[in-house]
Chain A
Amino acid sequence: MATCSCCFPLMMITLFLYILLYLQPVPCSNVETKASQLFSSGHTNNWAVLVCTSRFWFNYRHVANTLSVYRSVKRLGIPDSHIVLMLADDMACNHRNPKPATVFSHKNMELNVYGDDVEVDYRGYEVTVENFLRVLTGRLPPSTPRSKRLLSDDRSNILIYLTGHGGNGFLKFQDSEEISNVELADAFEQMWQKRRYNELLFIIDTCQGASMYERFYSPNLMALASSQVGEDSLSHQPDLAIGVHLMDRYTFYLLEFLEDIHPASQTTMNDLFKVCPKSQCASTPGHRTDLFQRDPGSVLITDFFGSVRKVEITKETVNLTTPIVYEDHENPNRRIGTPQMASFWAFGPSSCLCSSRPTASNTSSTSSKTLPQALPGGPKPLVVGEKGICHITGMTPFHLLL
C-alpha cells in the first residue's frame, strides 16, 4: 500500500524513541527481589495430610497412590514430623502379597514405595471419618502424641490428598462409613476460623471427585480432582504377578509430573492443572481456584509439595562476658536431657502401632525397629519387622477371608 512505504521510516523512528524513553534499564538489586520473594508466599512451614480411605487387597492401588505421594513429598523436603499419613496398611504383609513387605507402584516391580522408613500415623481401623475430622480441626484428646496431630499455624501451607472410592458428594472410608462434602467444607471452615492454615491444596483421586470440592466456602483453598461428577476415575495398569491394579491413572501421571520437580524448581500450579488430560486419563480432571487469593500462575509447586525454608542470616549477636555459673542441684525446675521418643498410645478400640522413628542415639547410627507389642483387644495384624520380613503376631478369621 502506498501509505505504508512512507510511514515505515516514521514507525522505525517512533519505535526507536519508545525504546529510548520507556525501556529504562532495570535496577539490578538482586538481593531486594530475593528478599521480597522470601515473604511473598506468606508461609513458613509445610504440612501434608495423606489419607488412603480403603482397605482390603483389591484396593492395593489406593495404598500405592498414597505411598507414592508420601515419597514425593518427603523427597521434596517435608519431614515426617509434618506429615500425617493415614493408611489401612494391610497391603505389605497381606497373605496375598507375593512379595511381602513391599508395595509396588509400577508394573514389573520397579519401585517399592513401602521401603523401611515409612511412618504411618493412623493405621488399620484408626482411619475413620471421626479421626480424620479430628486431625483437621485439631480436636484431639489431650493424650494424643505430637506425631498424630496437625500442629499447623496461620503460616502453614497444607497439602491434603485423599484417595479411595467415592461418589457424588461423598467419600467412602474403609467400606463402613462415609464423609460428605458438606462435612469436609465445614471442617475446612473451622480450620480457617482458627487460622490453622495459610493456604490449602486439596487433591482427591476418586470417582466423581469434583463433587467433593463443590461445597467449599473458606478462603485460600485450591482443589484438584481426578474426575468430574458422573465420571469414574480409572486405574492405570495391572501387574500380572501381583494380580491387582497398581495405581490410579491420575496419581500415576501426577507422580510423573512430580518426578521432575526438585526443591529449587520454579514450576507453577498452572502446569499441575494440565496433568493427565482426557486422552491419558479417560476422565476429565477438574480444579477449583476461585477461593484462592493468589494467581495460580504465581504459586510454586514447592509451596505445597516441598518444604523450602525461609532463611535469614543472623547479623547481630550478644556479647556475653560473664563466666559460667553452675546451678545448685536442689533446683528441680528445669529438665535437661535427651528427648525421649514416645512409645505406643492406644487410641480407640483397635490397637495402635506407631512405627518408632530412628532415635538420635549417642552410641550408634543404625536404627532398629522394635516389634510393637500387641495391645489387648482388637485384631492383631501383621507387622513389618527387621529386614522387611513379616512377623505374624496373631491371626484372626477376618484376615483369612481376604
Chain B
Amino acid sequence: VLLNVLTCGLFVTEKLRGRYAALSIAAVVIAVGIPLWWKTTETYRAWLPYSHINELGSLQLQLSMEVEVVFSRGTLTPEQQKKVPLTQTREQQHHVDENTGLKYRYEMKYRTATIMEEDALRQPTAEEADFSLYKLSESPCGSVVVYVIPETSVLLPENIKVYVGQRRTALLRGQVGQGGELKAVLSALDPEIEQVVRTMSFSHEDIMAALSDRIRMGRLSKESLADSMRSFKSSPGYEITFSLLNPDPQSHNLHWDIEGAIHTYIQPLLDKLAPVANHSVDSQILYYAVLGVNPRFDNSVSAFTLSADSLAHVINPVEARLGSNAASSNPVLNFLLFVPDAHHSPLFIQDHSKRVVDSNAFHSPRWGGIMVYNVNDRYGQEAEFPVHIDIDMAHVMGVFLAQLRLMLGVQSAHPPPGFLLQSPGSAGLTDWELDRLQWSRTVENVATASTSITSLAQLLDQIGNIVINDNIAQQVYNAVTSLQAAVAELEAGNLAFALQYSREAILASERAFFDPSLLHLLYFPDDQKFAIYIPLFLPMCVPILLSLLKMAGELRQRRKEQRAKRD
C-alpha cells in the first residue's frame, strides 16, 4: 500500500512537474521570445521630428522689404516737409493654394534728402549722380531707395520718368510741389513707387514662378513658364564650360585668350553671384567638330545660312563630343563658339522670319548657348593657310555673358514704359538684379527644401521597411532648423541671411533625401512571409499549445469532479 501511495505520489509530482514545465516554457516564449524576435527583426528607424515637418508642409511665407523714399528739394512744400520723416507699412496677401500662402510687407520710409545727397543729385548726368549717391551710403541687400527729384530737373531725359541705377537706387521724377495734405501726395506717388519696386525687386509673378514646383501649372503665365523652363533650377553649384569648335584647322589657326577673357568678363559676374551658388569654369578646344546640319547657301545674303528650324538638331551631335567633369553632379552650362570652315563661310543664323540675327547666336533652355563666329573677312584669297586668327573675345564674351545671365536665372526685367535702366557695366550684373535673383532663389530653395522634407517624411511613413539611420535624422533636423531660420529671416527682411539659411536647408534636405542608405528593403508579400515563418515557429508552438490545452482540459475536469463531490 505504501508503494502504491509512493508511486501515485511520484506520478502526481511528475504530472505537476510536467505542468510546470509546459507553463514555464510558454511563459518564456511569450515573455522573452516574442519581444526578442520582434526587436531583432524590426528595421531601425531613428526618431524624426514629424510634428515640425508637418508644420512645414503648409508654407506661409512673408517677404518683408524696406523701401526708402527720399524727397529732394523742390518736391515738397515746407508744411509737408515738417511732417516727414514718416514710416508706413503696406501689406499684400495672396492665397496661392491650400498649402501655400504669400504675404508681402513693404516698409516705406519717407524722408527728405540730406545736404550731401542734394550735392550728389546736382551732378550733370544720372550715372554720376547714381555713383555719388552710392559713395555716400550703401543700402542693405534687398532694399530699394527711390529719390524723388523735381520735375524740372535735368538729370533725366525728356520722356523718361524713372532712372534705375546700377546699385539699389532709382531716380523718380516727381510732380511739381503741390500743396495739400502730405497723405495725398504720398498716395499719388504710390503707384509709381510700386512700379519701381516691382521692377527692381520681386514681383508676385516672379515669386509664383519660383514656387512652380508646389503649385499647379495652370496658374503661371506662359512667359513666366518659359522663364522657369529656361533657367536652371537652384543648385548649390554650376559647371560652366566654354568650348571652341574648329572644324577646319588646315585653314584656320585659331587663338582665343580664354583665360584673360574669363578673368575680365565672366569672373566678376560669378564673384557677384557667389552668395547664390558656386561656379566652376572650364574651357576646351575641339578640332574637326562639325555641326550636325548642313547649311544652305542663300543668294539673297550671299552667305550660308542656318534656318531657325534646323537649330534644334545642331546640338545633339556636338554634345556627344563635349566632355564634362565626371566628378560632380552639378548642372553643366555649355557655351560653344563655332568658327565655320573656309568653304562654308560666312555662316549666318536666320530667325523665323528669315532675317539674319545680329548676335549670330542661339541658346537652348537649361543647356547653354552656341555662337557662330565668322572669320572669312580677316584674310584674302592669297593668304597662306593655315591663317593665324585672334578671336575678338570682347565681342564673343558679350554674347556669352548675355546667355549666361539668362541661364543662371537673371530674368530680363521688362520695364514699364518711361523707365531707363542703366546697363550693368563691368560687373555684368546690377545690384538690384542680384537682389531679384536672391529673392526668387531664396523662395525656391525654401519651397524645394520643405517639399523634400515633407515628402521624405511621407515616404518613410508609407514604406515601412526602410531603415532610417541616425545621420539621416541629424540631416533632417538640420534641414528643419535651417528652414525655420530662413523663413524667420525672410519675415525680418534680412535677405542675405535668408539666402544663406535656405542654401543650408537645401543642402541638408538633399543629403537626407538622397542618402544611399535609404533604400527600401526587399518587398515580401504576406503569403511569402507566412511561408518563411511557419516552418520555424509551428514545430515549436505545437507541443506547447497541445500541453496547454491538455492542462486546461484537466483543470476543467477537476472542477467538474469538485462540483460533483460537493453535490
B-contacting residues of A (Cβ < 8 Å)? 30-31, 34, 36, 39, 42, 44-45, 77-81, 129-130, 133-134, 137-141, 145-147, 149, 151, 153-155, 180, 182-183, 186, 189-190, 193-195, 263-264, 307-327, 334-342, 358-360, 362, 365
Contact A194 B233 (CB under 8 A): no
- List 30 A-B residue pairs with CB atoms under 8 Å apart, sorted by A's residue number: A31-B352, A44-B367, A77-B316, A79-B319, A129-B522, A139-B518, A146-B324, A147-B326, A186-B463, A194-B455, A309-B312, A309-B316, A311-B315, A311-B363, A314-B359, A314-B371, A314-B399, A317-B358, A317-B402, A318-B428, A320-B397, A321-B394, A324-B264, A326-B259, A336-B259, A337-B282, A340-B323, A340-B325, A362-B287, A365-B287
With known contacts A153-B233, A190-B459, A336-B282, A314–B312 Cβ distance under 8 A: no
With both beta carbons as reference points, the residue of chain B lying nearest to A307 in the complex is identified as B316
Tell whether B288 is near chain A: CB-to-CB under 8 Å: yes
**Residue B301 is within 8 A (CB to CB) of chain A in the complex:** no
Least Cβ–Cβ distance between A335 and chain B, in angstroms: 7
What CA separation (Å) do A334 and B271 show in the bound complex?
11
- Closest-by-CB residue of A relative to B428 is A318
Cα-based distance from A317 to B402 in the complex (angstroms): 5
Contact A360 B423 (CB under 8 A): no
Main secondary structure of the interface of A (DSSP, over half): loop
Could you say which of A30, A138, A182 contacts B523, with CB atoms under 8 Å apart?
A: A182
Q: Mark B504-535, 1 if CB is under 8 A from A, else 0.
A: 00000000011111111011010000000000
Query: Which residue of A153, A193, A318 contacts B455 across the interface (Cβ within 8 Å)?
Result: A193
User: Which residues of chain A have C-beta atoms less than 8 A from B325's C-beta?
Assistant: 146, 339-340
Nearest chain A CB to B283's CB is how many angstroms away? 6
Say whether chain B's binding surface is mostly helix, strand, loop, or mixed: mixed
Number of interface residues of B (CB under 8 A): 97
Query: Counting CB contacts under 8 A, is B26 at the interface?
Result: no
Chain B residues contacting A314 (CB-CB under 8 Å) are 357, 359, 361-363, 369, 371, 399, 402-403
Q: With A and B bound together, what is the CA distance between A276 and B367 in angstroms? A: 37
Is the CB–CB distance between A193 and B459 below 8 Å? Answer: yes
Residues of B within 8 A of A (CB): 213, 217, 222, 225-226, 229-230, 233, 241, 257-265, 267, 280-289, 308-309, 311-313, 315-316, 319-329, 331, 349, 351-353, 357-359, 361-367, 369, 371, 393-395, 397-399, 401-403, 405, 412, 423-424, 426, 428, 451-452, 455-456, 458-459, 463, 513-520, 522-523, 525
Q: A313 to B321, Cβ gap below 8 A?
A: no
Residues in B neighbouring A336, C-beta threshold 8 A: 258-259, 262, 281-283
Cα distance A138–B267 when bound, in Å? 32
In the complex, which of the residues B282, B285, B312 contacts A310, with contact meaning CB atoms closer than 8 Å?
B312
- How distant is the Cα of A241 from the Cα of B207 in the complex, in angstroms? 65
Let me know if A44 and B365 touch, CB within 8 A.
yes
- The answer to whether B260 touches A338, judged by C-beta atoms less than 8 angstroms apart, is no
Q: Which chain B residues lie closer than 8 Å to A183 at the CB level?
A: 520, 522-523
A80 to B319, CA, bound (A): 9
Chain B residues with CB under 8 Å of A189's CB are 459
Please give me the residue from chain B that is nearest to A180 by CB atom.
B523
Give the chain B neighbours of A322 by CB distance below 8 A.
264-265, 394, 426
User: Residues of A contacting B309 with CB < 8 Å?
Assistant: 264
